[in-house]
Structure 1
């Protein structure tokens, strides 16, 4: 039987979602916790692969087991897992799904948010990226709209990854200002490694006046990562939501 887990986590202590040889991952901790609770080997499949330090408001993973978890046992299992896991990881739901529903491949849409502080704020230093130059929000949003007309995001992808192609369909990309903080929200059917962070870094170049809209489009068309801006830090990036047809 297949079960989905909905969780959230703060990325700072981890090397990312996926198990890595060089540090502690969210996947490794959650698999260990489930194995202790269910007393059998558990292998988790996540809805994506967040990099080191990246956060998730709403993340999904699935696992298969021969055990049947009764409805009345879900709250108990969630409570036990949350007690065992570190404070940076929280389980919200565990629920049965059809055997063909896949946490990664059945997802039809993902949304990320990136937070930028325009003034010093001691309460957001661990979850926002501080910029010191004046930014033109209007120009940044004009550039962001060009992403909706793009399908090949090679210029914003990490090099030497194992994906078959760099094609993505972005349906929303917008900056908004909330007091002294800027929020960039982007939605697409899929994201490439490092894609959001390199897009944000390049949009900030537009906002600072280092490049104009025509040059931003040229970066997209070049399909060359070296042409785009630097990747901004991961601590200010949040996976906000993952959407499925059946959930």
Structure 2
């Protein structure tokens, strides 16, 4: 039996034309696309494990996955060039790095950062990558409400129902809204995220920004631990997975951006 080398692969993708990261029947996914490309070029069956799973239409400006191969020398620019040439314009590979056989793209990650973009002026170049929302929003109130997230660990109210996770506990270390011209950017960093969590939080904070929900009302929603108490989820096209961090001994990001 040949020994296999484990690689971490850094990539980004536009999720508009994908049904999420994870392989599923009769639907195009990023995982399936990447596995097909790697298996074809390496001429061996390749299974890819991602750092997480993004839903249909959600993007990743930075993503990490791992795979094993009998080939020991894939971590060079020629292979990355060949892989990018094989893939569609919706996916870009930054590079591959040899890691230990025990390194795991999902379980070894210590934090993930998401960005959510709201665009308040019609722009044909942002329609696939932001939520076009024209009503006035009070960013100050939205920031006041989102800072309450630091006070809690149980985010059941912002979790998709009937998921297979064992706990709804997450530790948020950064959360804020910033405004850049006509675009609002929501940034949130945590050790882990629940299914649909960021979009549910954004959708509820937009209600605060419109004056439909008070800051204390937002606290009440968190404490209710009931998805039905929170607002509707924000559209998928504005959400980006933007950063994944690992312990230094496991993996250090090589790509710039």
TM-score interval for Structure 1 and Structure 2 normalised by the shorter chain:
over 0.9
Aligned-pair distance for 1:67? 2.2
* Cα distance in structure 1, aligned partners of 2:94 and 2:227: 37
Aligned match of 1:38 in 38, 42, 46? 42
Tell me, yes or no, if the aligned pair for 2:113 and 2:244 is still in contact at 8 Å. Answer: yes
| Structure 2 counterpart of 1:244 | 246
* Alignment of 1:146 onto 2:151: no
Could you tell me which residue of structure 1 aligns to residue 101 of structure 2?
99
- What's the CA shift for 1:70? 5.6
User: Over the residues paired in the alignment, what is the CA RMSD in angstroms?
Assistant: 1.0
Q: State which drifts further: 112-121 or 203-212.
A: 112-121
SS in 2 for 1:4: strand
Structure 2: give runs of 5+ residues left out of the alignment: 253-257
For 2:61, which of 57, 61, 64 is the aligned residue? Answer: 57
| Aligned position for 1:179 | 181
Q: In the aligned structure 1, how far is the partner of 2:33 from the partner of 2:137?
A: 40
* Secondary structure of 1:107 counterpart: coil
* TM-score, length basis structure 2: 0.93
Aligned to 2:165: 163
Offset of residue 210 of structure 1 = 0.5
Q: Secondary structure at the match of 1:69?
A: coil
Moved more, 124-133 or 34-43: 124-133
What's the secondary structure of 1:187's corresponding residue? Answer: strand
Partner of 2:28: 24
SS of 1:183's equivalent in the other structure is: strand
The Cα shift of 1:22 comes to 3.4
CA distance in 2, matches of 1:3, 1:137: 42
Residue 78 (1) aligns with residue 80 (2): yes
- Give the aligned partner of residue 108 of structure 1: 110
Q: Which moves more between the two structures, 162-171 or 116-125?
A: 116-125
Aligned in 2, Cα 1:70/1:226: closer, same or farther, shift over 3 Å? closer
4+ long deviations beyond 4 Å: none
Write the distance in 1 (CA, Å) between the matches of 2:125 and 2:77.
33
Q: TM-score, normalised by structure 1?
A: 0.97
SS of residue paired to 1:28 = helix
Shift, 1:9, TM fit: 0.3
Partners of 1:245 and 1:2 lie apart in 2 by 17
Name structure 1 gaps, 5 residues minimum.
Answer: none
Instruction: Tell which deviates more after alignment, 46-55 or 130-139.
Output: 130-139
Structure 1 Cα separation of the partners of residues 49 and 124 of structure 2: 36
- Decide whether the 8 Å contact of 2:74 with 2:96 is kept in 1: no
Give aligned pairs, total.
245
Q: Secondary structure at the match of 1:151?
A: coil
2:12 corresponds, among 4, 8, 11, to 8
Partner of 1:48: 52
